[in-house]
Amino acid sequence: MDKIFVDEAVNELQTIQDMLRWSVSRFSAANIWYGHGTDNPWDEAVQLVLPSLYLPLDIPEDMRTARLTSSEKHRIVERVIRRVNERIPVAYLTNKAWFCGHEFYVDERVLVPRSPIGELINNKFAGLISKQPQHILDMCTGSGCIAIACAYAFPEAEVDAVDISPDALAVAEQNIEEHGLIHNVIPIRSDLFRDLPKVQYDLIVTNPPYVDAEDMSDLPNEYRHEPELGLASGTDGLKLTRRILGNAADYLADDGVLICEVGNSMVHLMEQYPDVPFTWLEFDNGGDG
C-alpha cells in the first residue's frame, strides 16, 4: 500500500464504521490467514479497529458513526497495513487478546490465546472432574490465560502457572497482576515438572507445543511471528507431550485429571500409545485433539 493509498484512506474515511468497512475490504483483498482468535475479516477488523481506539469490542451500534481524529485514523491505517504486508497477527498490533471472555495482554513473547480448552473452562470441566479442584496446574502457561481463566472458574483453588520461558512468565505475571490474582495464581519457572515440588494436583491442564516438523514448515506467515518455543515439538509433535505423560501421574491426586491438548499430533499419539484409553473430547466451538 503506497503513500497515495494511505493518504486517501486517512482523508476520505471519517467514522468508526468507515474504518471497519475499509479494514474488511483490505483483509478480504489480501487473502490473509485467520487463526488467532478470529476466522473472518469482519471479526478481524473489529479486533483491530476498536482496541486501536481504546474502545471495547461491544460498543453501541450508534457509536460506530462517531468521527475519528486524524491521529486515530493514521494509527488504524498503519496497523491494517502491517497486518496485510507483514502478516502480523492483530493481537500483536494491539497487545490485546481475549480468552474465556477475559482480556489479556500479549506480545511476541507468547502465543496468541486460542485453545479450545477455554470451552472446557467455561463449562467448569463438567463431566470430566468429580469435585471442585483445590490445586490446579497449568503446564506451559505462556500468557497465563488458561491459569487465570481457571482461577476465575474456581476462585477457591490455588493455580500454579508453569513455563520454561522467562519471557513468557513475564507476560503471565503482568496478566496475573492486571487481573488481581496474585494470591490465586503462582507463576513458576520450570522445565515441565523438573523444578516443581511434589504437589498432588486435582487438575492438570496443559497446552504444550505440539506442532510436528512437517506442519512447522507449512505454517502460514502469521505463525512465524509467534515464539517457535511455543509451537514446535520435534519430528512428530510429541516431544514435550511424552514427557508430560511420563511424569503427570506423580503429580496427580488419586482422582486427579490430566487435560492435554495435542492438536493434529493426536494421530501420532494414538499410534505410539495404542493401549492407552485416551478420552478425545468434542467441542461446540471447533477444535480437536
Do residues 132 and 232 both lie within one domain? yes
**Which residues partner with 136 through β-bridges?**
159, 203
User: Quick one: how far is CA 153 from the chain centroid?
Assistant: 17
Note whether residue 234 is domain-resident. Answer: yes
Among 61, 94, 127, residue at a domain's last position: 94
Q: How far apart are CA 220 and CA 236, in angstroms?
A: 19
Do residues 218 and 243 both lie within one domain? yes
Residue 239: which CATH number?
3.40.50.150
Which helix (H) or strand (E) element contains residue 250? none
Q: How far apart are CA 33 and CA 183, in angstroms?
A: 38
Do residues 9 and 137 both lie within one domain? no
Q: How far apart are CA 86 and CA 248, in angstroms?
A: 40
Do residues 266 and 139 both lie within one domain? yes
Note whether residue 280 is domain-resident. Answer: no
Q: How far apart are CA 195 and CA 203, in angstroms?
A: 18
Note whether residue 9 is domain-resident. Answer: yes
Q: What is the pLDDT along the chain (289 residues), one digit of tens a residue?
A: 566 678 899 999 999 999 999 999 999 999 999 999 999 999 999 999 999 999 999 999 999 999 999 999 999 999 999 999 999 999 999 999 999 999 999 999 999 999 999 999 999 999 999 999 999 999 999 999 999 999 999 999 999 999 999 999 999 999 999 999 999 999 999 999 999 988 999 999 999 999 999 999 999 999 999 999 999 999 999 999 999 999 999 999 999 999 999 998 999 999 999 999 999 998 887 666 6
Note whether residue 279 is domain-resident. Answer: no
**pTM for the predicted model, two decimal places:** 0.94
Do residues 88 and 133 both lie within one domain? no
Domain hosting residue 227, numbered range: 99-272
